[in-house]
Amino acid sequence: MILTVTLNTALDITYRVGSLRPHASHRVSEVTERPGGKGVNVARVLAALGHEVTVTGFTGGATGRVVQERLASVPGVVDALVPVTGATRRTIAVVDEQTGDTTQLNEPGPMVSPAEWSAFQEVYQDLLPSVSAVALCGSLPPGVPVGAYAGLVRTARAAGVPVLLDTSGEPLRRGVAARPDIIKPNADELAELTGSHEPLRATQDARRRGAAAVVASLGPEGLLAATREGRWRATPPTSVRGNPTGAGDSAVAGLLSGLVDHLPWPDRLARATALSAATVAAPVAGEFDRGVYEELLGRVAVSGEVSAA
């Protein structure tokens, strides 16, 4: 079983409009609602790939109840969310059908008390003995310590469970120092962490800061990986138009799936790249177009070198 942690869960709401214009009223052509937050998106993709997944994090209020009701209908996903007094946030994605661009509005999330944070840590520690890998994903809600992910990484490592960290800013900087097995920043997050805007140099620098492997998302240009086993670049064969929301989460799912399936790094990266691109072709985050995925998987170009470093 794979465990995904989403401390700042959300109800993802996607609006589709003909053309998004500032200072104008818009008629929405379609509305979709899904349980969200980065780790929840990862869990849904993993479940669609056939993995058993447990989701934990925080949930609260009427929005939290909707999230849990929707999760209950996802085959292969087990709900281990921890209740809080505050209300789960909403995230709003507005898709411009004319350009294909997406505008994202993210609420901050509920205030988490010290007692609620302690309750979550107990649940997390109890779950670890039964899991094969864990993903720590997304932003921290108010009240959760900025070093939270660093502590959760150390707890997973002490339990012998490989851990992937996907966050940004100060939580990422502190989390890397705890030596996660994989981090998965995008290019901007990697530059903020290392101070370098050259991706290859930045991935190597991030490894020196503590991560065993660094896989950087380069948007439509694919993935760049620096690991103990070597360095690779995975590039999709074609650009896919659509909604990019959740593409990075699908890449995380691909990396975790490849890890627990014991795939070599080039195959993990090909899977993650194809899933990421296939998510752009899907209407909402946490889903992927299976036809696009299967068509792209064998055509992802992976180049690089094996190293003992």
Please say if 267 is a catalytic residue. Answer: no
- How does pLDDT run across 142-168, given as a tens digit for each residue? 999 999 999 999 999 999 999 999 999
Contact 88, 67 (CB under 8 A): yes
Q: Rounded to two decimals, what is the model's pTM?
A: 0.92
Contact 286, 44 (CB under 8 A): yes
Annotated active-site residue in 166, 181, 249, 289: 249
179 pLDDT exceeds 50? yes
Q: How confident is the model at residue 307 (pLDDT cuts 50, 70, 90)?
A: low
Give the pLDDT confidence score for residue 309 in this predicted structure.
Answer: 44
- How does pLDDT run across 245-292, given as a tens digit for each residue? 789 999 999 999 999 999 999 999 999 999 999 998 887 767 898 999
